[in-house]
Amino acid sequence: MTKYLWLSHSSGGNLPPSLGVAHALRKRGHEVVFATKPDTAARIEGEGFRGIGFKNAYTQVDKYPDMGPITRIACSLTSPDVAAEIKEVVAAEQPDAILVDAMFPAALDIAPSFGVPTSVFCHTFLWRQMDAWQGIMTKLGQLRAAAGFEPLPDMETLWTAQTRMIVTSVETLDDAPLPGWDHVTHVGPVLDNETPAQPIDLPWAADDATPLVLVSYTTTELGAPDKVQTALDGLADLEAHVVVTSSMAIDPAALTIPANAHVVRYADHNALLERAALCVTHGGHGTMMRALKYGVPMVVIPGFPHDQVPNAGLVEKLGAGLALPGDADAAALAEAAGRIMAGPSFKNSARENAKAVRDLDGASSAADVLEALVANKVTETVA
């Protein structure tokens, strides 16, 4: 049995693929332990893994510039107190390998010093979003420097210092690789459901031929019910059944739900997309990959995470949907949804692009790479 310690930036869509890989490793008899922000340790434990919540995640937050929620995030990802606690965790756990999320500079900086193989995980596109990655990692470094702490290395140094870099996305949809990054492996998307996302009973007959629309917005933005309400209003007159998942961030009772819609906190998106005619999304990587896998066209309304605008552009480039501005209103959504469902063009393009995703199993392929990492074997890049 191998013991993997995952130093996790567990926000938004970053955690589900990490858990999917962890489940694949556990099925092979390995142990995976997560160390993360204390407010997400319970979510990890709900999947049956041990979650170590950093006690020092926010001890130095008062030194950082006040930028709202970003201040706490920056502190938990870059502060010297977190780095010191990581050293304590590694000493106590004695892992055989260390896994680090790409946007965790404090962990990436010290991971190679522990004398075990390391892998940095990127849970969205790498090459086509290098500028966006550079921007957010530079910003994190600037906030740490503004707090008065010693600067961390730049993004390229942090990422290339690890033994491997695993990208849980589709290589054929990414841009051309940069020279000198031979440690990068694309394994394909990880689309496992978390435990709360179970199949649901819909209020419509199973043989109802009315098209189904799934509205799946980014979890980090679901605290804004106005965005979900705009989606409900925009789809209210569409000849379709609309399913909205709100997570725990929004009480369905707080929404005005039209007659053609059904709102639940959680659902198995894979099961819904198997029968869906349209997906309305912020363009998070996981939802986008799920929709492509099932050949479902999309309306993409990007939120604030750095990968969503580029993802929206990719969907349009592929002909698999339409991208709207982040502040699109109900009328704009209604027009885009109607246009997509009026003819076969977008559906055909989505189904054609499904070929790039359908047969990939990112969790299993990542587990292959991680087993080889510890065994000191060489693996071929997974397309």
- Protein fold of 212-356: Rossmann fold (3.40.50)
Domain ranges within the chain, ordered by starting residue: 3-189+360-375, 212-356
Amino acid type, 73 = I
Query: Which tens digits make up the pLDDT trace of 120-167?
Result: 999 999 999 999 999 999 999 999 999 999 999 999 999 999 999 999
- The DSSP annotation for 133-173 comes to HHHHHHHHHHHHHHTTPPPPPPHHHHHHTSSEEEE-S-GGG
- Strand bridging mode 261-264 / 184-186: unpaired
- pTM metric for this prediction: 0.92
DSSP 3-state assignment of 52? Answer: strand
DSSP 8-state symbol, 255: S
Predicted confidence pLDDT, tens digits, the chain (383 residues)? 999 999 998 766 788 999 999 999 999 999 999 999 998 888 899 999 999 999 999 999 999 999 888 899 999 999 999 999 999 999 999 999 999 999 999 999 999 999 999 999 999 999 999 999 999 999 999 999 999 999 999 999 999 999 999 999 999 999 999 999 999 999 999 998 777 778 888 999 888 899 999 999 875 444 568 889 999 999 999 999 999 998 877 888 889 999 999 999 889 999 999 999 999 999 989 999 999 999 999 999 998 777 889 999 999 999 999 999 999 999 999 999 999 999 999 999 999 999 999 999 999 999 999 999 999 754 443 33
Decide if 3-189+360-375 and 212-356 have a common fold: yes
Angle between helices 15-27 and 362-375 (to 10 degrees): 60
Angle 39-107-129 from CA coordinates, rounded to 5° = 90
Average pLDDT for the chain: 92
With contact defined as beta carbons under 8 Å apart, do 20 and 187 qualify?
A: no
To which residue do tokens 């990112």 refer? 362
The alpha carbon of 179 is separated from its chain's Cα centroid by a whole number of angstroms, namely 26
| Nearest Cα residue to 54 out of 25, 23, 96, 84 | 84
- The CATH class given to the 3-189+360-375 domain equals alpha beta
Q: Is the dihedral of CA 352, 331, 217, 197 positive or negative?
A: negative
